[in-house]
Amino acid sequence: MTHNIPVWWHACGIVLVVALFLLYRSAGSANILVVCLTRLPGVVLHELAHLLTGILLRAQPAGFSLIPQRRGNGRWTLGSVAFRRVTAFNAVPIAFAPLGLVPLAYYLYRHWFGWLPVTLENTLFFYIAVFLLVCNALPSRQDVRIACNWKSVLLYGSVSGAAGYVWFHYYA
């Protein structure tokens, strides 16, 4: 846990997270070197989450790329994963797989200083690691588009509706 860390180390970590967030937000249309340095570590984690979930749910991965590609509007796409067999069943878990980085960030929060000594450097690396995991856990627009296809919405909406009906009529 983080209870025996000096308060000013936490203040340094918070300032670092704010600086990383501002750099992360402003790097979207910058020089490709700046974009890669600021975003690529998190993009690797984000795309690996999609890939591993796709493998587990038998979506047949067809492509995995971390090579930056310039889009028409001056922005960059840093990574992508393609699948051959995205179905109504596996589209939502694959699209929202990066949300699994949040429990990993919590796990790091709970155990970081059990593994490493309490120093200012390790505290700052702790803040960087948690920032990378949480910041890259958010689904992209493309992820949301894949998850919200009509077949998945129908399947998961029906299951949720049936579960809600059973819950409120038999357990409430």
155 within some domain: yes
Burial, 139: exposed, middle or buried (Cβ in 10 Å; 0-12, 13-18, 19+)? middle
Tokens 């949720």 -> residue: 160
Q: For residue 128, how many C-alpha atoms fall within 13 Å in the half-sphere facing its CB?
A: 10
2 within some domain: no
133 within some domain: yes
Contact yes or no for 46/136 (Cβ under 8 A): yes
For residue 101, how many other CB atoms are within 10 A of its CB?
A: 21
Considering only 9-23, 63-77, 153-167, which range has the smallest mean pLDDT? 63-77
139 within some domain: yes
77 within some domain: yes
pTM, two decimals, is: 0.81
Spell out the residues 6+ positions from residue 23 whose beta carbon is closer than 8 angstroms to its own: 38
Helix H or strand E segment including 145:
helix 141-147
pLDDT tens, position by position, 3-56: 678 888 888 888 988 988 887 777 655 667 777 777 888 899 999 999 999 999
pLDDT tens, position by position, 119-147: 899 999 999 999 999 989 988 888 888 88
1 within some domain: no
125: Cα separation from own chain's centroid:
18
State the residue range of the domain holding 70.
7-171
128 within some domain: yes
Nearest to 100 by CA among 148, 138, 153: 138
Q: How many domains does the chain have?
A: 1
